[in-house]
């Protein structure tokens, strides 16, 4: 906090300059001190009205002090006073809770709606990948190992019996195992989503490849279980968490495409400026994608394992999809304030 220099120790010209304005500076400093200790809302109306006027007066005095080379200590005092006042006059004074509330109530869904074209393309690419993976594995099971890494397969492959595969859909690993599994899936899917977003700058090509690859993995797994007459059961296993998880990855891909296309088609801006502008809105979407992946991780690690009825799994997964679609795309009235 700046401290006013002792007027008795200042040069004569500085003392005259200071004497004509000191009362206003003192009042501004008093208002700022009370605002910093509490809140602007607690200040009387007359102080709130006076704050911008006093700030402009202090700013004008600072300009004069610099131009006329007045005492350096006075210049430093006025610089500190103006910096403090600027924050209250022009700065955004909101609480963390208010910022978080604005993100969920307005910023995130608005950013997702702004990417609707990219989202459609990202979802279509994942669907194409899933169909390709399903058809290729159904016609030739040797494709399966090429689409599904052994670490993710976890014993779910064509060497497993129908009974063993069914067991993987309903086996309860206990609370400890579920927690570890949820953490693993959250980490894995977060990495995939972040890569879809981060690699978007390369004209969106790596993002498209990742989206298609995730689709082929999904299709390959569905083909495996369908070959054992467990397609319906596998659908329930996937949808309870997949409606959120896959939607999150599609949105991450859409955010990557937005950046990639801005690099390819920057318009009147430079490619760097266009990518930076697109990155700001895409980053908001990615912030929400992390939330969706956390929800998907909880559904995967806890809800899917604790809910073993197929129809209930479909109901939960379908309800989650409707919740996300409604949250993102149902029209809202204009924001207040």
Tens of pLDDT, residues 268-300? 888 888 888 888 889 999 999 989 998 988 887
* Residue 50 belongs to some domain of the structure: yes
User: Quick check: 147 pLDDT over 70?
Assistant: yes
Same structural domain for residues 242 and 142? Answer: yes
User: Quick check: 177 pLDDT over 50?
Assistant: no
Q: Are 87 and 51 in contact (CB under 8 A)?
A: no
User: Quick check: 311 pLDDT over 80?
Assistant: yes
When pLDDT is cut at 50, 70 and 90, the band that residue 337 belongs to is very low
Per-residue pLDDT at 133: 97
Q: Which residue has better confidence, 303 or 58?
A: 58
When pLDDT is cut at 50, 70 and 90, the band that residue 9 belongs to is very low
* Residue 83 belongs to some domain of the structure: yes
End residue of a domain, out of 52, 73, 90: 90
Q: Both tokens of residue 206?
A: 């790596």
Distance between CA atoms of 173 and 240, rounded to whole angstroms?
Answer: 17
* Residue 51 belongs to some domain of the structure: yes
Highest-pLDDT range among 51-60, 122-131, 144-153: 122-131
pTM, two decimal places? 0.72
Task: Give CA 279 to chain center in angstroms.
Answer: 11
User: Quick check: 69 pLDDT over 50?
Assistant: yes
Q: Both tokens of residue 284?
A: 């908001």
* Residue 30 belongs to some domain of the structure: yes
Highest-pLDDT range among 5-19, 171-185, 222-236, 320-334: 222-236
User: Quick check: 95 pLDDT over 70?
Assistant: no
Same structural domain for residues 135 and 76? Answer: no
User: Quick check: 174 pLDDT over 60?
Assistant: no
User: Quick check: 38 pLDDT over 50?
Assistant: yes
The residue behind tokens 């995130």 is 108
Distance between CA atoms of 204 and 215, rounded to whole angstroms?
Answer: 17
Q: Are 166 and 239 in contact (CB under 8 A)?
A: no
Same structural domain for residues 85 and 105? Answer: no
Per-residue pLDDT at 284: 93
Q: Are 129 and 221 in contact (CB under 8 A)?
A: no
Quick one: which of 213, 179, 218, 184 has its CA closest to 199? 213
Q: Are 78 and 42 in contact (CB under 8 A)?
A: no
Per-residue pLDDT at 179: 52
Which domain does 207 fall in, by range?
A: 98-329
When pLDDT is cut at 50, 70 and 90, the band that residue 334 belongs to is low
When pLDDT is cut at 50, 70 and 90, the band that residue 75 belongs to is confident
Same structural domain for residues 80 and 156? Answer: no
Same structural domain for residues 273 and 130? Answer: yes
Per-residue pLDDT at 100: 87
Same structural domain for residues 11 and 107? Answer: no
69-71-73 Cα angle (round to 5) = 130
- Work out the mean pLDDT of the chain and round it to a whole number: 84
Quick one: which of 211, 213, 328, 258 has its CA closest to 117? 258
3-class SS of residue 325: helix
User: Quick check: 30 pLDDT over 60?
Assistant: yes
219-273 per-position pLDDT tens digit: 999 999 999 999 999 999 889 989 999 999 999 999 999 999 998 888 888 888 8
């Amino acid at each position: 906090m700046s401290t006013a220099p002792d007027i008795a120790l200042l040069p004569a010209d500085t003392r005259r300059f200071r004497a004509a304005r000191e009362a206003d500076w003192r009042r501004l400093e008093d208002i700022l001190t009370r605002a910093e200790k509490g809140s602007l809302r607690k200040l009387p109306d007359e102080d709130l009205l006076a704050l911008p006027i006093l700030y402009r007066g202090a700013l004008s005095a600072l300009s004069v002090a610099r131009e006329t080379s007045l005492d350096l200590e006075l210049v430093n005092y006025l610089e500190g006073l103006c910096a403090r006042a600027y924050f209250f006059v022009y700065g955004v004074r909101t609480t963390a809770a208010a910022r978080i509330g604005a993100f969920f109530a307005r910023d995130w869904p608005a950013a997702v709606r702004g990417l609707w074209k990219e989202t459609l393309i990202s979802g279509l690419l994942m669907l194409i990948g899933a169909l390709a993976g399903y058809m290729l594995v159904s016609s030739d099971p040797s494709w399966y190992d090429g689409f599904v890494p052994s670490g993710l397969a976890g014993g779910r492959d064509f060497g497993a019996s129908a009974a063993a595969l069914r067991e993987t859909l309903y086996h309860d690993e206990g609370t400890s195992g579920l927690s570890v599994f949820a953490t693993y899936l959250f980490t894995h899917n977060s990495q995939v989503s972040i890569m879809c977003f981060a690699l978007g700058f390369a004209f969106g090509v790596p993002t498209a490849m990742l989206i298609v690859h995730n689709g082929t993995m999904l299709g390959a797994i569905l083909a495996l279980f369908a070959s054992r007459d467990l397609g319906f059961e596998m659908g329930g296993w996937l949808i309870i968490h997949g409606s959120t998880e896959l939607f999150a990855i599609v949105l991450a891909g859409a955010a990557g495409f937005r950046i990639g296309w801005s690099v390819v088609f920057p318009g009147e801006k430079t490619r760097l400026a266009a990518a930076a502008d697109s990155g700001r809105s895409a980053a908001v979407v990615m912030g929400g994608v992390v939330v969706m992946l956390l929800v998907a991780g909880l559904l995967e690690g806890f809800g899917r394992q604790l809910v073993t009825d197929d129809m209930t799994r479909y109901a939960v997964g379908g309800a989650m999809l409707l919740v996300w679609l409604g949250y993102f795309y149902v029209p809202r009235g204009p924001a207040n304030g």
